Amino acid sequence: MRFVGIDPATETGVVALDEDGNPVLEISIIGKGEKEPGGISLKQRMSLENQLFQLLQPDDVVLKEAIANGNKMLITTAKIHGGLELMVIRKGLGLEEVAPTAVKKYVQVTGFKQVDGKSVRLQGDKEKKAAMAAGALKHFGYEHPNNNVVDAFIIAKICEAVYRVRRGEPITDYPKYQQEVIQSFIQPVQKKPKKKTENTNQRRGKPRTAGSRAQNTEQTCLF
């Protein structure tokens, strides 16, 4: 059995941990084929999907990062995510997703840095990736030159933690901020259904009258 973390993108990070939580697969895969300006070609997507399918094993436990809110390349990203999800399912494996914000939270990346005692928002992919690399090093002593692999490693560690807690390991073995991420899988918050508003034909500002608000069209008018 392995714990597999997947960080989907045109360059997809994949990390697999053994039963002791040690990495046995650390790779970043790119689809082969003609490039498509501003996105990913069909041939590249097929190549990316086939590569992932070949990397997966029958007893893997898989966790994939979900699409980030406000993604600027939503259509391309959705195609990549959907194709990779199908490969996991085709392999006969279960699949869960973790929000990008939860991945950051797991290693205490807030999106801000301290400059002269003030909180300043991280700017650009370089700073954001550097913060994730620092978080992985601090929490797990893990380093890798490829940022996609670093993210996939953190996702794999979340996958491992959720698996262990579900099988009786005390959640208190983890820091509080990691407990909150794990708990979101163990006991997901149920969204409250929206209250239905009464649909009436009454015009705004007009007081209600007793009984029916609309005259029966078949009723005879008497004047």
pLDDT tens for residues 142-184?
Answer: 999 999 999 999 999 999 999 999 999 999 999 999 999 999 9
Task: Tell me what the mean pLDDT of segment 17-36 comes to.
Answer: 94
Q: How far, CA to CA in Å, does 205 sit from each of 23, 132, 208, 213, 215?
A: 67, 55, 9, 14, 19
Residue 77: C-alpha distances to residues 67, 83, 216, 220 (Å): 7, 10, 54, 62
CA 28 to chain centre: 18
Mean pLDDT value of segment 106-114 = 81
pTM of the predicted protein model: 0.82
What DSSP assignment string belongs to 123-143?
A: -HHHHHHHHHHHHHHHHH---
List the Cα angle 150/153/156 in 5-degree steps: 155
**pLDDT above 70: percentage of residues in the chain:** 78
Output the pLDDT for position 114: 66
